[in-house]
Amino acid sequence: MTTVGSSAAYRRQIDRRMGVADPATLHGSLSAGRRLRDAEPADQDMAPVPLRLLPDTAEVAPGDSLSIGGVDVATVAEAVGTPVFIYDEAHLRSRCREARRAFGDGVSFASKAFLCRAMARIAHDEGMMIDVASGGELYVALRAGVPPERLVLHGSNKSTDELVLALDVGIGRIVVDSFDEIERVNLLLGRVAPATRPRVLVRVNPGVEVSTHASIATGREDSKFGFSLASGAAAEAVNLLASRHSPVDLVGLHTHIGSQIFDLSAFGRTIDSLAPLVVTTGLTELCVGGGLGVAYTGDQKEPPTLTEWATAMRHACRVAGIPDSVRITAEPGRAVAATAAVTCYRIGAIKSVPLPSTDGVRTYVSVDGGMSDNLRPALYDSRYEAFLPRAVTAPRPFAVTVAGKHCESGDILVRNGHLPQDVAVGDLLATPVTGAYGYAMASNYNKLLRPPVVFVGDGRYRTVTRRETVEDLLGLDVDEPALSHCVP
């Protein structure tokens, strides 16, 4: 008799039930097209998904289906199941190359936006350094083969273990964030002999307000990040680290004012504030952080390009009196990775509910992922588009709410979505611009399995991060301790 846990076939069966879609069982069944047609049509001229939100190599193939990197998206979804993150490798490489060209050596990819070994290798191959914000990110980047001197360590509360690892391997830069950290680094350097004298930057909080969501605004006065410029803490940190007795090599200043920024003048104001400290101290590097925005929906304007951002930063530095010899760097995450990916889900239920307050109807389209693969709508009220990869240029006349499968009313992926009239259960549904802070923030909430990451390009696809299995869900559990281990 087969016992649970010992049979691979049984596990596969459970895997399928737990989220590895078996498309064959869904396609063509349970069509809910009729129910949707009963729902109230929204704007009948609702436009197709704007193609500018799709990755660079996205094409509408004959029959109106979506291909990316020369690969039919539906074929990938059939092969690896849903949900799945599909990344355009050429898009990632092109943004990394552009960042490197625009800023020069020293520009980093902010790995918090999206990290796996394949991504780290791409950023490194294309000439970027990599910014890591924890020992875990540092470990993954090192295991990807990125040389330690091409890594920059961030974090507002770096642990002793994280600092020891960074010092041991000879990390390229450490961005110090507090007086406690300075003390910790000094103490550690009294005990360990690093391969090289550590190069550090001081993270400065310039006290600049930016127009973005409060949770991703990091440069205003009331912030946990960095040393305050206004209070004099930044200058004090610079003096400490530049002193004759300091065991580190202070090379520059760092700042990061927030994320999803479209208005470059906020960066300009930041540079104006930092310029006196850069000039008087004679430091040779200034990193303006990340934060360049991307458009997530058709009604959002196009943000500046990485090239325009770099040009504006150099101009602002010149105007502020910062010498040309100072190396101006940045660390974009979202602007590199966000538009490179789409997430593909399978629709499992469609439900229209009456809205008594308006006499209208809301149609919930439920997909097989949710806040565990895209937390941004729940965390920041972020807005997304939805479309059907089989009908890319079709009008989307029906107003829908795309819901995830978690036990949370707030598990809504797309609040004001629109889809073609004939959408049905079993269809693939895609959300564009999910390449940054999607997989990176993914969780196992409700014990959902984190989706795979697939890279496409040159007519081929490869899975770079596999889908979790139910066995992975047990991987960290420790068996009940034997009584002998208990305190008597």
Ligand X SMILES: Cc1ncc(COP(=O)(O)O)c(C=O)c1O
For ligand X, the binding residues (CB under 6 A) are 110, 112-113, 131, 154, 256, 259, 289-292, 331-335, 436
Residue among 206 and 291 whose Cβ is closer to ligand X: 291
Find tokens 């490798």 and name the residue.
89
The one catalytic residue among 96, 116, 407, 486: 407
Could you tell me which of 417, 394, 297 has the C-alpha nearest to residue 347?
Answer: 417
- Report yes or no: 234 and 228 within 8 Å, Cβ to Cβ: yes
Distance CA 12, CA 320 (A): 62
Contact 377, 384 (CB under 8 A): yes
Nearer to ligand X by Cβ, of 259 and 352: the residue is 259
The answer to whether 407 is a known catalytic residue is: yes
Smallest separation (angstroms) from ligand X to the CB of 152:
9
**Smallest distance, ligand X to C-beta of residue 173, A:** 12
d(CA 440, CA 452): 12
Tell me the closest approach of the beta carbon of residue 34 to ligand X, in angstroms: 43
Distance CA 450, CA 466 (A): 9
Write down the least CB distance from residue 360 to ligand X, Å.
37
d(CA 353, CA 347): 17
CA of 353: how far to CAs of 36, 42, 294, 310, 377, in Å? 11, 15, 33, 49, 22
- Assess contact for 380 and 412: CB atoms under 8 A: no
Percent helix / strand / coil, the chain, rounded to 5: 35, 20, 45
User: What are φ and ψ of residue 185, in 5° steps?
Assistant: -65, -45
Least separation in angstroms between residue 331's CB and ligand X is: 4
Q: For the chain, what's the residue count?
A: 488
| Among the listed residues 271, 303, 264, 305, the one whose alpha carbon sits nearest the alpha carbon of residue 288 | 271
Residue number, 153 or 412, with CB nearest to ligand X: 153
Smaller CB separation from ligand X, 148 or 291:
291
Query: Residue 13 corresponds to which amino acid?
Result: Q
Contact 156, 182 (CB under 8 A): no
**DSSP labels, 302-362:** PPPPHHHHHHHHHHHHHHTT--TTSEEE---SHHHHGGGEEEEEEEEEEEEEEETTTTEEE
Shortest separation between residue 479's beta carbon and ligand X, angstroms: 38
CB contact set of 299 (below 8 Å; sequence gap of 6+): none
CB of 177 to ligand X, least distance (A): 9
Nearer to ligand X, 259 or 366 (CB): 259
Instruction: Please classify residue 59 by burial: count the beta carbons closer than 10 Å to its beta carbon, then call 0-12 exposed, 13-18 middle and 19+ buried.
Output: middle
CA distances from 8 to 3, 131, 466, 476 (A): 10, 40, 17, 20
| Residue nearer to ligand X on the CB measure, 37 or 224 | 224
Pairing mode, strands 227-228 and 199-205: parallel
Judged by beta carbon, residue 49 or residue 130, the one nearer ligand X is 130
Q: Identify the burial level of 70 via C-beta atoms within 10 angstroms of its C-beta, where 0-12 means exposed, 13-18 middle and 19 or more buried.
A: middle
CB of 338: closest distance to ligand X in angstroms? Answer: 8
Closer by beta carbon to ligand X, 98 or else 427: 98
Q: Nearer to ligand X by C-beta: 95 or 256? A: 256
Q: Token pair of 220, please?
A: 């205003």
Closest approach of Cβ 102 to ligand X, in Å? 14
| Distance (Å) of CA 344 to CA 20, 76, 387 | 13, 9, 10
Q: Any idea which residues carry the catalytic annotation?
A: 407
